[in-house]
Structure 1
Amino acid sequence: MADRPPVIAAWGAGVDSTAMIVELAERGEPIDMVLFADLGAEKSNTYAFIPLFRAWMAERGIASEIVRYQPRNFKHWPPYAGIAENMLTNATLPSVVFGGGSCSQKWKAAPQDAWTAKWEPARRCWNAGGRVVKLIGYDASGRDTQRYHHAIGCEDPRYAYRYPLREWGWSRADCEARIASAGLPVPPKSSCFFCGSIKPDEVLELSIPELRVIVLMEARAKPRLRNVDGLWRKPVLGRRGSTPRPGSITEFIRERGLLPRPRSTTSSRPRLWRCSTSIARPTRSKGTGSMPSAVIKQFVVEGAADFPLAMLTADECWPARAADAAAIAALQLGVGAATPPRKIILATVSKYAPNRQRWIAAGWRVIA
């Protein structure tokens, strides 16, 4: 590395970037570091593939690191560590749903750049006036060609970007064949399991916990949605060869019966996602820029009508336990009326919550 700039590969744990690394290793081309940015919301099959391929790289002397975006300034509560929790806390959906850019810059590119800025070979290269070589796995397909043309207009001057798959003219099929020829399983498409660009056949492959998070995410955001139905934005009618689907993935889950119905309305609900039943109170360390301390209080609501999702926003509250979140999600799937009246525990940091009159107007009441 003394006579050349350091080389970093941006690995998304998907087909293209994996094939790129496999082929470069076979050709004997240098890769000094492989970085994977973990959003905390990849598909379960992707997480199963990551340690397998990292071991494959380690056997060939290719170093790798997993990096993560570290949120610091929180506008809403509870605080979050991953992108799924970010959506649930802010009662919103990924920006791509609303026609914005992808989440890649904040959750993938930024943590990789932050890690590289502390990496000694990169610092020496930059101090000497050089540029670090960054390998990007865009293939030669039409879709990736669009991504490529967008990317070259946003390149960081500290890096010399290289797109090996495009140099070789490889398609996605070529990438899949290359991975298989190396004796490796072909990984699934790399994306968050709740990405607005996910296809119906990909939803069919999701696990039950992942499906439940999607249901809760769309339910949490629903009171604030105006121009879209859900993660899929608008319904697709199935014309011109496209696959018909609703605008909400929750509707698709309900139509296909992808989530099991509870045995009874009084039985305990399955866990919606892994979370703690208690929430720690974060504190601000002077001069650190971390979040301020806050008092988190809990209250109990009871009702037999449909759960008023708008009250989660009005009272700036969230389910206090996994069981409460699962109960709310179950109501959104229409798995049965709450008879007798159901009790749900909510948590909030709002000084003025709960608004008892608004709960009563919504058909529920605050009982504790």
Structure 2
Amino acid sequence: MMKVVSYGGGVNSTAMVIYLINRGDVPDMIVFVDTGAELPETLDYVDYFSAYLKQKVGMEIVITRRNSEGLYNYCLRKRIMPIMKYRWCTSDWKVIPFDKYISQYQGKKTVYVGFDAEEDGRVAGALQKSCNLKNQIKVFPLHDANITRDDCINIIRVEGLKIPPKSGCYICPFTPKREFREMKRNKPELFKKALTLELQHPKGRTIKQGVALKEIDAQGELDFMREYDPSIPCGCSDGQY
């Protein structure tokens, strides 16, 4: 049975790949789905980790996409944006492209997903959804081995690799307000794109519920420095897709 890693470009999925290789369970393929709205540091890390894998086990990360338009341009054209409640962006721009890519290979696949020991709910949800997948068996090596997120960070450090930045899209509705502030300061071109998407919405909706990017844009450096605390983790968890 073909073994495929669903690689998200963050801490969990990176540690999972290292863990699998070190226990002698080298996957046949590692797939990263690029939505077209990924943070640049995520794409940089995918390239960095892919180079490490080529040297260590002779394989590289496969990067696939839904299409050449990308999520951001799609949203701009349709005058829509990702929504917390429905998460259509994850389904349409991560899950479906991943499933489509691996479906070109015949037979059943074991799909490794990087949920850690503290993500019981996500594991249960993924297992429930996977009941409808005839050609995939989802497995969760980190969860099964009781490996926590802190353990994942240690696995990466012991391997001598850089710790991945938090993976995600720059128009993700789960992005904390403080990170949009950081984006405005350090990645103004991405913040401007997110702001443009928000301003063109016909019903005036915001990417993050209750937080208008135009208000963040109007606030000065003093507000940013007072409210931003890089030590506070966000509520996202990478590693599924």
Residue of structure 2 equivalent to 1:331 = none
Residue of structure 2 equivalent to 1:150 = 125
CA distance in 1 between counterparts of 2:101 and 2:156 reads 28
Q: 4+ runs of 1 displaced by more than 4 Å?
A: none
Q: Give the greater-gyration-radius structure (CA).
A: 1
Alignment of 1:129-278 (within 5 A): 131-141=108-118, 144-155=119-130, 156-206=133-183, 207-221=187-201, 223-225=202-204, 228=205, 230-234=206-210, 247-257=211-221
CA distance in 2 between counterparts of 1:179 and 1:83 reads 30
CA distance in 2 between counterparts of 1:166 and 1:117 reads 25
Per-residue Cα deviation, 1:34-77 (whole angstroms, up to 9, x for no partner): 0000011111111211111001111122342111002xxxxxxx
Unpaired runs of 5+ residues, structure 2, are 223-241
Deviates more, 1:173-182 or 1:189-198: 173-182
* Partners of 2:153 and 2:163 within 8 A in 1: yes
Q: Please report how far the alpha carbon of residue 33 of structure 1 lies from its aligned counterpart in structure 2 after TM superposition.
A: 0.2
* Partners of 1:9 and 1:35 within 8 A in 2: yes
The TM-score, its normalising length taken from structure 2, stands at: 0.83
Cα RMSD after superposing both structures: 1.8
CA distance in 2 between counterparts of 1:27 and 1:254 reads 52
Query: Does 2:54 align with 1:66?
Result: no
Residue of structure 2 equivalent to 1:33 = 29
Residue 100 of structure 1: SS of its match in structure 2? coil
Query: Does 2:2 align with 1:6?
Result: yes
* Partners of 2:46 and 2:61 within 8 A in 1: no
Residue 151 of structure 1: SS of its match in structure 2? helix
Residue 160 of structure 1: SS of its match in structure 2? strand
Is the helix fraction higher in 1 or 2?
2
Unpaired runs of 5+ residues, structure 1, are 71-79, 235-246, 259-368
Q: How many residues align?
A: 216
Q: Please report how far the alpha carbon of residue 256 of structure 1 lies from its aligned counterpart in structure 2 after TM superposition.
A: 3.8
* Partners of 1:39 and 1:82 within 8 A in 2: yes
Counterpart amino acid of 2:193?
V
Q: Please report how far the alpha carbon of residue 157 of structure 1 lies from its aligned counterpart in structure 2 after TM superposition.
A: 2.2
The TM-score, its normalising length taken from structure 1, stands at: 0.56
CA distance in 1 between counterparts of 2:43 and 2:102 reads 23
CA distance in 2 between counterparts of 1:180 and 1:209 reads 32
Per-residue Cα deviation, 1:216-237 (whole angstroms, up to 9, x for no partner): 011011x323xx5x11212xxx
Within the candidate set 112, 118, 124, 2:98 is matched to 112
Counterpart amino acid of 1:165?
L
Alignment of 1:261-300 (within 5 A): none
